[in-house]
Every structure is written in C-alpha cells, then in structure tokens.
Amino acid sequence: MCTKGTAERVTVKGKCLVEEGTLMIVSPVFPMIEMGRSDDYGSIVVTDSADNLMPLMSQLLKGVEKVPDITPYMKLIPEQAAFFCRCYDRIVEKQRLLDGDGLTTIRRGALESMQGLIRREMILEFAYLFLPSDTTGKTFSSRALQVVATFLLTLNREYKTHRTVNHYAERQGLTPRHFADIVKRQTGFSPMEWINMYTISQAKQMLHIPGIQVKDVADSLGFPEQFTFRKYFKTHTGMSPTEFRKGGR
C-alpha cells in the first residue's frame, strides 16, 4: 500500500498512477510493473506464501474473460488505509522483539504465531475488499487467460535466464506467433514487451538500493557483462543505469 508520494505502474489494464492510500496486489498472476516513482514515495508491504494466496487469486479469476477485466489495485478510504497501517506497525513491532536477544523457544514461537495471525487478518481484509460480491455460476475456463497467467508466472521465475518469446511459447506448446497473438489480444502488450518491462522494472528496483554496484545488478539479472546490461537498460529507458540513479525515474 502506498503511504506517500506517487508511482507510475503498468498493469494488465494499462498505465496507472499509484498514490497515497492505493492498495495493490503484487503477484505474478496480476503483475504491476513500476515505471517510475516520486522522490518521496513510500509504501508498506506484507507478503505471504503463494500456497496461501492462490485460493484468493483463483476467486479473483472467476468469471474473467480477459486479463484487463482484472483491476489489481484500488484507492482506500482513510479508515481502511489506517487499518492496514496499524496492522503493519504491529507486525514490525513483533519483528523487533523477534530480532532481540534472550527469547526462549516458547516465547519466540508465540511471537511468530501472533505475527502470522496479524498477517492473516490483513490478507482477509484485503480479500473482503477485492473479491466480487457474487461469483455464482462463474468458472475460470478461458484457455487464453490460462495461457497468459501461465506466461506471467513463468516469466516471474525465469526472466533472469530466458528473455525470448520462443522460450515461453515452447513452454506451453504453442508457436511463437500464436502465443504472441494470445498475449497481445488479452493484455494489450506483446510477450516481448512484458519481458522487457519486467526486466527493466526489476533493474530499477535494484538500482534504488543504496550502495549496490551496476555490475552487481547486471550479474543478478543474468546479463553476461556490465556493458550488455548498460546497453539493454539504455535501449529501453533512454538513459544509462548511472543516469537513472542520478535522478531518472
């Protein structure tokens, strides 16, 4: 959830402006790729395992005919935003205690359980806000949507080692042209655009980390050398990684 500032992101519905009080699903199933942020941008993030979140994701997919029908973000009213902030502060406080010394095994287990319950409370509130009020008779049967969902999940896992359309088409037993047609028709972006946007988004997030070297970013993203990464980054952003760090968004 954004707590201050703004950020421009690309979703399957197109570009959106994230501002204070915007609650977002950040998942490979519903990707939100950051394209830029204001200097004062701030957010709170709570994570959970894919096994716990997939039932919720499956509910959100019910009745969907095209991926852009999904809106993976919403603007909260102040009372709703305050609830998530309070829960987040409680999680941070439990973590502070967990990071301290002298905890017995029982007390550590109790803190971890409390932290898990708070996280679960946030996820349930999130589900209540996002889930449709009526899914009676709806089923997730669109083959095209399945292709797109599988592509985005696979891209999340393999973008560091595979950045070709052919690879992701072959993973689903489709010709590159047929695969590209499905993804473009369902999302408005081609597979290559998704691959590039996802890679650049990850690169920008790493470049925001103080002290990290450009070479380390290149290595982490699977580029064979720093020069190749620099060329790739400039091709898709219009600036070098160093220029981006000096004030690019």
- Residue owning tokens 């603007």: 75
pLDDT given for residue 64 in this prediction? 54
Q: Which residues have C-beta within 8 Å of that of residue 196, sequence separation ≥ 6? A: 163, 236
Q: Note the pLDDT tens digit of each residue in 56-85.
A: 665 555 555 555 555 678 899 999 999 999
How far apart are the C-alpha atoms of 235 and 65, rounded to whole Å?
34
Q: What is the mean pLDDT of residues 8-15?
A: 76
- Output 3 or 146, whichever has higher pLDDT: 3
Tokens of residue 65, six digits: 């005919």
Q: Which residues have C-beta within 8 Å of that of residue 230, sequence separation ≥ 6? A: 214, 218, 240, 241
Cβ-contact 249, 208 below 8 angstroms: no
Cβ-contact 35, 236 below 8 angstroms: no
Q: Note the pLDDT tens digit of each residue in 159-202.
A: 999 999 999 999 999 999 999 999 998 888 899 999 998 899 88
Q: Note the pLDDT tens digit of each residue in 196-236.
A: 988 998 898 889 888 899 999 999 999 999 999 999 999 99
Structural domains in the chain plus CATH codes: 2-130 (2.60.120), 143-245 (1.10.10.60)
Q: Which residues have C-beta within 8 Å of that of residue 206, sequence separation ≥ 6? A: 212, 216, 217, 220, 221
Is 149's pLDDT higher than 90?
A: no
